[in-house]
Amino acid sequence: MTDIEPDPNPETLEQFKNSFSYGTRSDLTFKFLKSLSPEDAGEFFRQLLGEVGRSLDHGEVEPIHQLIFDWQVRGYERSGPSHEYDTAPFVAPPKPVSESKVGVLTSSGHFPAWDDPNPFGVENMTQAEAEARISEFMRDTPTLSAIPIDIDPGDLRVRHGGYDVRSVSHDPDVAFPLQTLIALQAEGVIGELSSPMYSFTGATSQGRLRKQALPGWIDRVKGDGIDVLLLVPV
């Protein structure tokens, strides 16, 4: 048996948990670990391994999913938004939703293959590069992509350095409800689905979004003649 030399600089639990957030072990489903204390992160892994062990016998994965969900909630609740308001704006819709023209805008990072926003001038940026450049996205002005509702599904792309896009890569309707709303339009649940639908990369400069991008977006989307707007953040 060979003796193992002790590492003179062993990785701390703090470094380990933080490595899941754009670090050496980056996994955006688990980047919430960075928001947890080392003690809570340790407790998460203890509970996770406990459920994984139990699943070997009973085969149920739901407790594992529930555990991840619960700890995501704990993690993100500790990193609350910096923008607080005292009052909520409110306007009443002009007509029932069954008669309304419904617009859609998501922050999921979808775009048509023929109109890639090419962040920072980079053509065909990969998801991995978007994740690697997340700090630059957070300082940049977002681009609004217009996606016609009759788009060929094969032409709908997604790229977003802020969340795990594996799920939406399998099915855009996980965050970009095109097929769902087409069905609801056919059944008369909504009056009309407005085309195009819109999307942008929500990981962006909040100041630039509010001051530089949003006024133009409002003019553009209102110009489509919508009655109401469905928003889907990720």
Partner 1 sequence: MSVGHVARGFEEAGIPTVSVFVRAFRHVAEVMKLPRAVITQHPMGRPLGGPGDRERQRTVIEAALGLFDSATAGGTVVEIGDAWRPGAVNR
Q: Restricting to residues 42-81, which ones interact with partner 1 according to CB under 8 A? A: 61-62, 65-66, 68-69, 72-73, 75-77, 80-81
Let me know: does 18 contact 33? Beta carbons within 8 Å: yes
Window 8 to 27, contacts with partner 1 (CB under 8 A): none
Q: How far apart, in Å, do the first and last CA atoms of the chain sit?
A: 51
The total of other beta-carbon atoms located within 10 Å of residue 32's CB is: 23
Window 153 to 192, contacts with partner 1 (CB under 8 A): 163-165, 167-168, 170-171, 173-175, 177, 179-181, 183-184, 189-190
Let me know: does 42 contact 13? Beta carbons within 8 Å: yes
The C-alpha atoms of residue 220 and residue 224 are separated, in whole angstroms, by 7
For residue 189, give Cα distances in angstroms to 20, 96, 101, 176: 42, 10, 11, 18
- State the minimum distance, in angstroms, from the CB of residue 80 to partner 1: 5
Window 77 to 116, contacts with partner 1 (CB under 8 A): 77, 80-93, 96-97, 100, 102-103, 105, 107
Question: Is the CB of 135 or the CB of 179 nearer to partner 1?
Answer: 179
**Number of residues located near partner 1, criterion CB under 8 A:** 76
- State the minimum distance, in angstroms, from the CB of residue 9 to partner 1: 32
